[in-house]
Structure 1
Amino acid sequence: MEDKIKNNYSQIAKEKHPKPPLVKNVLTAFFVGGFVCLIGQAVQNLYIYFGFSPEDAQDPTVATMIFIAALLTGLGVFDKIAKFAGAGTAIPITGFANSVTSSALEFKREGFVHGVASKMFVLAGSVIVYGVVTAFFIGLISAII
């Protein structure tokens, strides 16, 4: 009897749950993500204009995009953009900067050591660990070959 009620409830809930606007969400994520990439390319072109080689302009471009995303997170703007854009803001660098900054802001009331420093990488810690380990093994394979 209890299973029948659960199944009936699940069926009713599924019928009443609105369907997400999939095409709109995909297009919004695509265009916002593309716009973020366009901003990154403009920043890189600005560094190239000021005398960096295209290869040397990559590092300050990444740092600038991280700074912009962290600043927008601190000002509360990034969350509004992410709410509108969905996955379009999950581009690795800006999404990573947002996760680190938002964790730091959330736990700042617990102090710098036990709050900010220890909780800052709660969301991003696994990305850092696996990124470093993967980079190590790729570098090792590259050195052997």
Structure 2
Amino acid sequence: MSDHLNKLTKEKYGEMSDRYSKKSGIVKNCAMAFIFGGIICMIAQAYYDILMSRAAASIFGTISEENGKALTVMFMVFLGVLLTALNVYDEIGSIAGAGTIVPITGFANSITSPAMEYRSEGFILGVGAQMFQVAGPVIVYGTAASVIAGFIYYLIK
């Protein structure tokens, strides 16, 4: 019996997996990621344009271009955290795919989601230890890549 199960698992696993797995349409997935990623970018651009408009300047005073960009990034991070806290971001992500992962809202989601999930384990071993579970490697390799790119740029210039 044991040999039969091992033989079945080794020989037929691929066939069974193909038969029962949901087929994904790569063109549809790419299109949805493009559309939703574009929508997120349009929201950020609209927020930035509103900040830089004359109407906003009459309320808040003149905002420099650099400060406007920083405020836009903060707004998009806040939006990602808010939608994650309301359990909406994952639903959007199930439709949009990578379109919600790539923008900065996806980074905010990758930090907020584990923090919410592990909050019952306490602030140190739960939230603190698990919060960068997904985002940690992104930060490490992003920093390493930027150092390498900066060094190459220094050598070229």
Asked whether the two chains share a fold, i.e. TM above 0.5, the reply is: yes
> What is the letter of the counterpart of residue 39 of structure 2?
F
Residue among 109, 113, 132 paired with 1:121: 132
Where in structure 1 do 4 or more consecutive aligned residues deviate above 6 Å? Answer: 1-4
CA distance in 1: counterparts of 2:20 and 2:144, whole angstroms = 46
Instruction: Summarize the Cα distance change of 1:9–1:119 in structure 2 as closer, same or farther, 3 Å threshold.
Output: closer
- SS of 2:132's partner is coil
C-alpha RMSD over aligned residues: 2.4
Instruction: Summarize the Cα distance change of 1:25–1:134 in structure 2 as closer, same or farther, 3 Å threshold.
Output: closer
Aligned residue in 2 for 1:43: 47
- SS of 2:24's partner is coil
Matched residue pairs, number? 145
Structure 2 alignment gaps of length 5 or more: 57-61
CA distance in 2: counterparts of 1:120 and 1:16, whole angstroms = 34
Instruction: Summarize the Cα distance change of 1:137–1:25 in structure 2 as closer, same or farther, 3 Å threshold.
Output: closer
CA distance in 1: counterparts of 2:126 and 2:150, whole angstroms = 34
- SS of 2:65's partner is coil
Instruction: Summarize the Cα distance change of 1:116–1:81 in structure 2 as closer, same or farther, 3 Å threshold.
Output: same
Residue among 45, 53, 64 paired with 2:64: 53
Aligned residue in 2 for 1:133: 144
Structure 1 alignment gaps of length 5 or more: none
Q: Share of identical aligned residues, percent?
A: 42
Please say which structure displays the higher CA radius of gyration: 2
- Give the alignment's TM-score, normalised by structure 1: 0.83
